[in-house]
Structure 1
Amino acid sequence: MKKHWFLATAFLTLLLILSGCAGESGGDGAESGGDSGDKTKISFIHWRGEDKAVLDEIITEFESANPDITVEMNIYPSDQYQGTAQRMLADGATGDVFTSFPGAQFESIQSAGLFEDLSGEEFIANFDENLISVGQKDGKQYAVPYQLVFNMPVYNKGMFDELGLEAPKSWTEFQEMADTLLENGITPIAFPGADIGPNQFMNSMMMNNAPDEEIFAKLQSGEESLTNEWWVKTLEDFKLLADKGYIQENALGTNADAAMSMVANEEAAMIATGSYHMASLLKLNPDLQLDLLAPITVEESEMVYEGINTATFMLAVNSKSEKKEQAKKFIEFLSQPEIASKYANETGQHLTVTDVTYESEALKNTAYWIDEKKTRFQPRFLITNAQIEAAVLSSIENVLGGEEPAAAAEAAQKIVDENRE
């Protein structure tokens, strides 16, 4: 009996020793690398679920080029990501590499000290310096925007050509175009109010009503008000879209997938989102000819901007991470032109990386928006207070739900006053 007890004890001791040795060799956050030695696992978190397939391929290439590093990617719905990313980053265990939205989320994460300063990194030179300033604060580069998105409606150019329509250059022409589409049994604008809401469409709807690019900074400081003409008119323009049937019935109950189906099936001429949906639309209907169209809500002589741009999907390193060097290697890999080109063409995104080669017809056909059109950085992302942003967006939803524009503006301004900086 004693012999059996001694053997069992010895075996258990050996297991504990082996277990302890394995834990030490892996280190914090490491896993066994087999024949290739120990591998450091880094966490990469973002919100772009539609990019998973190509990012999986890129991660495989990165791990092949860096056999001592593995990447664990976790993707969250965008609304959840905006609400929880900062909390996930706080202890450094998640999001060694993470992405940030410009605007309120960037400001909040920066204020919390969770961005590692990337200013001196060599890979910054791989990006167009004119497109990455939104990731800067106090002269430091805290995050590097990866995507160059045009946040304005995508439209069926082939349909327009068949009907003899051109992109309107004024609010009068926009309404004439929409009336022609309705006469032909086509909904002018598919509006995904259930999940995306007015987050994207508001930008082009107000860009010429309030051409002052400091308008939302002034709103937050108290110099401007939502009850002033620039915002009340924007709400009146949204009301006109709903009243005239230029957006579909139950727009607030329509999700993005349903809105994309309307465009892919040629039931609708436009989707009120942005260029990031072009690749998905072409997957649904490869025969579509797509371009971008921002509504001009003033007369042509008063037009200042032709469209909206956003440098977003901002790559960053968690300042609380214990694997910063490995995290920087991953961002450096993503910034290499051949890797960036792969990402761009498979996701249908224009990028901020220089020397990217665009191969898809949709990207080549819309690249002229980068250099030839006068676009404005997305105004919504210049609202740095999340409560004020929510009030602005809610006022649009309330108008689409039936509230009068002036009343919706007044209610939203009360919230602004309560949360003003």
Structure 2
Amino acid sequence: MKRKYSSVVLVLLSVLLILSGCAGESTSNNNSEGGSTTQINFMHWRGEDKAVLDGIIAEFEKANPDITVEMTIYPSDQYMATAQRMLQEGSTGDVFTSFPGAQFESLQKAGVFEDLSGEEFVSNFDENLITVGQKDGKQLALPYQLVFNMPIYNKGMFDELGLEVPKSWEEFQALCDTLLENGITPIAFPGADIGPNQFMNSMMMNNAPDEDIFAKLQSGEEKLTNEWWVKTLEDFQLLEQKGYIQKNALGTNQDSAMQMVASEEAAMLATGSYHMASLIGLNPDLQLDLLAPITVEESEAQYEGINTATFMLAVNSNSEKKEQAKKFIDFVSQPENAAKYANETGQHLTVKDVKYESEVLKNTAYWITDKTTRFQPRFLITNAQVEDAVLSSIEDVLGGAEPMDAAEAAQKIVDENRE
């Protein structure tokens, strides 16, 4: 009896496993009204936006009862490393996002972008802000966020200490010295996960004002051992040696660095505008704004800050549910839906006619119209190995290497991967 009972249980378990496996592979389900639904997958890296996107997805599903949306979210570094493989497999990411620069170039070469050029929803976006998603005359991806990749600073703290935004490298150092004298770490640097990915842009923007500098680097016309990059590494060395960034900066993760600013232990966060809403969430009393270190004399400065059109929405060319995926992009790019995303996540967007109600967004909107900003230089590096070499040279200096030694080591990698 025991053997017979055991055999029956095993058979039942096997049937259940087979049925559950079939259910997992199915893309159609029954909705409450008895119809069938198609599930699409939205793959991205913005875990901090999940709650807001859940709400927008609920509204989309209400408006499109025949479509359901599943989100898959990865940390940004993992997303950079594995997105292409997953998209080529076609198992996820009917709608996906791409970073500009090296990832966009790689995904374009892999053929995973569906051409969106003829879609009506493209007109929902500011045409001047979506060129980074174009290639060979085709609109392959649509940047959704307009981000300022430069440090966030505690404006209330600055006002209390009588500090003004510095306009030169000398003034920036004097500012940091004053903060240290008051027991405040000038810059919280999340070296363990974000690293110098964001901070490098404002640190080099006036050292190398030529916007083609990285194209010239990849062609061999420029070198990392030239003055523009060696000075940038020397500036990073100065930050570390003078204590302007916290001790063990390379071992500090994003959450810890944010907490330093939220608790007012640090005055600046070396990331970008996309973290402003999260900081306010940690400390609603914070008054925040943006500043970029000016690493040259005031008379030599050409740029005041950095901008990036990123979080580029795309449709997977390997998807069997492209029409449903396009409906989703159309929905999130409608001004009223985009406004919900913008105001609840603290993001400026590339979508036209968005009404900003968030105080953070209102207070920083002047960066769009009144400031001279430059597109993020890092995203103009189209070779991933070259990008890694550039970033690693900064980490090497922060770890104790001499700037020229770090530059020479990185240049060897650039030479090996010259286009």
Shorter-chain TM-score tier: over 0.9
Residue of structure 1 equivalent to 2:8:
none
Residue of structure 2 equivalent to 1:334:
332
| Residue 180 (structure 2) aligned to one of 179, 182, 186 | 182
Deviation string, structure 1 residues 168-217 (Cα, Å, up to 9, x no partner): 01101101111111111111100000110000000000000000000001
Residue of structure 2 equivalent to 1:245:
243
- Counterpart CA distance in 1 for 2:271 and 2:39 is 35
Deviation string, structure 1 residues 2-33 (Cα, Å, up to 9, x no partner): xxxxxxxxxx9xx9xxx9xxx89x99622223
> Could you say if the C-alpha distance between residues 27 and 156 of structure 1 is closer, same or farther in structure 2, counting changes exceeding 3 Å?
closer
| Residue 153 (structure 2) aligned to one of 148, 152, 155 | 155
Letter in 2 for 1:401: G
Deviation string, structure 1 residues 66-113 (Cα, Å, up to 9, x no partner): 000000111011111111111001132311000000001100000011
Residue of structure 2 equivalent to 1:276:
274
Deviation string, structure 1 residues 320-368 (Cα, Å, up to 9, x no partner): 1111110000000000111000000111111000111111111100000
Q: Secondary structure at the match of 1:342?
A: helix
| Residue 373 (structure 2) aligned to one of 372, 375, 383 | 375
Residue of structure 2 equivalent to 1:390:
388
Q: Secondary structure at the match of 1:152?
A: coil
Pairs within 5 Å for 1:259-338: 259-338=257-336
- Counterpart CA distance in 2 for 1:30 and 1:232 is 57
- Counterpart CA distance in 1 for 2:134 and 2:28 is 32
Pairs within 5 Å for 1:64-79: 64-79=62-77
- Counterpart CA distance in 2 for 1:217 and 1:198 is 20
| Residue 117 (structure 2) aligned to one of 116, 119, 138 | 119
Residue of structure 2 equivalent to 1:4:
none
- Counterpart CA distance in 1 for 2:37 and 2:332 is 20
Deviation string, structure 1 residues 29-74 (Cα, Å, up to 9, x no partner): 2222352401011011000000000000000000000000000111
What's the TM-score once normalised by structure 2's chain length?
Answer: 0.94
Residue of structure 1 equivalent to 2:6:
none
- Counterpart CA distance in 2 for 1:307 and 1:34 is 51
Offset of residue 294 of structure 1: 0.2
Residue of structure 2 equivalent to 1:219:
217
- Counterpart CA distance in 1 for 2:30 and 2:123 is 35
Letter in 2 for 1:97: V
- Counterpart CA distance in 1 for 2:99 and 2:189 is 22
- Counterpart CA distance in 1 for 2:122 and 2:225 is 42
Letter in 2 for 1:35: E
Letter in 2 for 1:122: E
- Are the counterparts in 2 of residues 101 and 312 from structure 1 also a CA contact under 8 Å? yes
Letter in 2 for 1:402: G
- Counterpart CA distance in 2 for 1:77 and 1:191 is 18
- Counterpart CA distance in 2 for 1:255 and 1:92 is 32
Letter in 1 for 2:28: A
Residue of structure 1 equivalent to 2:207:
209
Q: Secondary structure at the match of 2:33?
A: helix
- Counterpart CA distance in 1 for 2:78 and 2:30 is 32
What's the TM-score once normalised by structure 1's chain length?
Answer: 0.93
- Are the counterparts in 2 of residues 36 and 68 from structure 1 also a CA contact under 8 Å? no
- Are the counterparts in 2 of residues 156 and 290 from structure 1 also a CA contact under 8 Å? yes
- Counterpart CA distance in 2 for 1:283 and 1:121 is 37
Matched, 1:40 2:38: yes
Give the gaps of 5 or more residues in structure 2: 1-11
Higher mean Cα deviation, 32-41 or 293-302?
32-41
- After the TM superposition, list the runs of 4 or more consecutive aligned residues in structure 1 that deviate by more than 3 angstroms: none
- Are the counterparts in 2 of residues 399 and 408 from structure 1 also a CA contact under 8 Å? yes
Matched-pair identity in %: 82
Residue of structure 1 equivalent to 2:4:
none
C-alpha RMSD of the superposition = 1.6
Letter in 1 for 2:282: L
Q: Secondary structure at the match of 2:40?
A: strand
- Counterpart CA distance in 2 for 1:83 and 1:407 is 28
* Larger Rg belongs to: 1
Residue of structure 2 equivalent to 1:399:
397
- Counterpart CA distance in 2 for 1:28 and 1:280 is 37
Residue of structure 2 equivalent to 1:357:
355
Q: Secondary structure at the match of 1:35?
A: coil
Pairs within 5 Å for 1:194-205: 194-205=192-203
Residue of structure 2 equivalent to 1:80:
78
Letter in 1 for 2:214: F
Higher mean Cα deviation, 349-358 or 30-39?
30-39
- Counterpart CA distance in 2 for 1:192 and 1:102 is 21
| Residue 234 (structure 2) aligned to one of 236, 248, 251 | 236
Q: Secondary structure at the match of 1:269?
A: strand
Residue of structure 2 equivalent to 1:3:
none
Deviation string, structure 1 residues 121-165 (Cα, Å, up to 9, x no partner): 111111111111100001110000000000000000011011111
Count matched residues. Answer: 401
Residue of structure 1 equivalent to 2:5:
none
Residue of structure 2 equivalent to 1:9:
none
Letter in 1 for 2:188: A
- Counterpart CA distance in 2 for 1:29 and 1:325 is 14
| Residue 60 (structure 2) aligned to one of 38, 62, 65 | 62
- Are the counterparts in 2 of residues 380 and 389 from structure 1 also a CA contact under 8 Å? yes
- Counterpart CA distance in 2 for 1:39 and 1:27 is 14
- Counterpart CA distance in 2 for 1:179 and 1:83 is 39
